[in-house]
Structure 1
Amino acid sequence: MAHPTLEGLSLQEEEGEGFSFEFEEEEEQVDLRWCLVGRFLSERAIHFNSMKVRMADLWKPVKGVTIKEARTGIFLFHFAHPLDMEAVLNGGPWTFDNNMLVLERVQLGMQIDHVPLFHVTLWVQIHNLPMGLMKEKVGTKLANYIGKFVEYDKNNNTSFWRQYMRVRVRIDVRQPLKKDTKVKNMAGE
């Protein structure tokens, strides 16, 4: 009986191109379209069981949510219905134990470790605008100064006597918040 040898084996040999897979939706156990990945902006560990109970209580998903810890400090949120997930994305920002939750949608084929969890969407109030500048165009420009414009609150911004404008902005949590800027009208005042 001949024994195989390792003489002909070389780690320098040409490697193949790897593998690629095409997934069919029926094969998936979890519908990734209704999954979010998230982390809390905290230096300390999050008590997982308390967080699960609290987030489900805050979100009140009609069809339910399953929460799992994918990696230390990285959580997966699987919603049973798309409207529940959209309500969470549109209702934020969310916090647990005074720590903000950063959420992103899960994409098929992505690795959890490579999901950029650095952006949150916030409602921002813009005060002390000169008369005549409480307009969506101005709100969009100011929101883009703060971060990236997401939405203009037309319901809040319809009255002539309004005291502030509300815009929804996506910001990078790694950058300092922008506090003040000067706003001038067309005459430069």
Structure 2
Amino acid sequence: MEHPNLEGLSLNEEEEGFRFEFDEEEDEQVDLRWCLVGRFICERAIHFNSMKIRMADLWKPLRGVTIKETKTGKFLCHFAHPIDMEEVLNGGPWTFDNNMLILEQVQLGMQIEQIPLYYVNMWVRIHDLPMRLMKERVGTSLANYIGSFVEYDKNNNFTFWREYMRIRVRIDVRLPLKKYSKVMNKEGKWCTVKFKYEKLGIFCFVCGVMGHAENKCEVRFSMEQDDGTRGWSADLRADPRSRGGRPASRWLREEGGGPVKQSGGDVAGHSNS
């Protein structure tokens, strides 16, 4: 039996690779620019069929969406139109059974399994902020303390007195949620501002991390003795935003001149139905 001639064989030859030309027409058939990859932050398996029906009902994409599950438990959402995809990205965060969904846009040239899914954009309300500090530059600084600044809600400036500032923040789900910060007022005194998170899913009252409750918390299991003290609470959840209602009085006016809307509650002699 003849043996192959191994003279001149380089041990590094196996490291060499191939470079191929990509077919543009093939890319057009499945446009990855209109795809989102996602995963849920949770400790249990997600019922795929129930989830995809629920998410499609929440998103209501005009041109439709296809949702597939990968072998590693991630989900690939292919939209038929970019407007539908953008509305889903901008309308988040989204939850299923109170489990938060992380979504990222698929970039050309990246493998789906290589896309890091550790960040979620959330609206955060800043409470107890001095009125003179209700400014975008202040919101940007506070957002970068919570995570990374994404957007300042200028539409929240609709009245001469605001209950809170509203900022959109990119948050690392592996880190504990920030609860508060201190700011100095005009008189040179420190005051505490509190953070409340909109559409906040399951999170742990022991470690402050999203994705699990305290009964599944590694920090709690590592304690020698649990005295019941908790550093986080449900106070971090923001109340659902009011979507308006019937006029409270035809004599009362908003600053812009329109009638004041009654957000809810019963009026004497009438029901909400």
Q: Would the TM-score normalized by the shorter structure come out above 0.5?
A: yes
Sequence identity (%): 72
Moved more, 114-123 or 21-30: 21-30
- Tell me the CA shift for residue 171 of structure 1: 0.3
User: Does residue 129 of structure 2 align to residue 121 of structure 1?
Assistant: no
TM-score where L is the length of structure 1: 0.91
CA, structure 1 residues 173+4, in 2 after alignment: closer, same or farther (shift >3 Å)?
Answer: farther
Report which of the two has the higher share of strand: 1
- Partner residue in 1 for 2:111: 111
Unaligned stretches of 5+ residues in structure 1 = none
2:87 partner SS: helix
Residue type matched to 1:175 in 2? L
1:15 match: secondary structure: helix
Moved more, 177-186 or 38-47: 177-186
Aligned to 1:20: 19
Q: How does 1:1-189 map to 2 (within 5 A)?
A: 5=3, 8=6, 12=11, 14-15=13-14, 17-28=16-27, 29-189=29-189
Alignment deviations for residues 149-180 of structure 1 (CA, whole Å, 9 cap, x no partner): 00000011342211100000000000111111
Using the size of structure 2 for normalisation, the TM-score is: 0.64
Structure 2: 5+ residue stretches without partners: 190-273
Match of 2:230 in 1: none
SS of residue in 2 equivalent to 1:61: coil
**Deviation per residue, 1:31-80 (Å, 9 max, x gap):** 00100000000111111111110010000000000000122310100000
Q: Residue deviations 1:111-152, cap 9 Å, x none? A: 222111000000000000112111111111111110000000
For 2:24, give the aligned amino acid. Answer: E
Quote how far apart the aligned CAs of 1:5 are.
4.6
Higher relative contact order (CA 8 A, sep 6+): 1
1:182 shift after superposition: 0.5
- The DSSP-based 3-state class of the residue aligned with 1:85 is helix
Whose radius of gyration is greater, 1 or 2? 2
Q: What is the number of residues matched between the two proteins?
A: 187
The change in CA–CA distance for 1:168 and 1:178 in structure 2 (over 3 A counts) is same
What do you get for the CA RMSD once the two structures are aligned?
1.9
Give how far 1:16 is off. Answer: 5.3
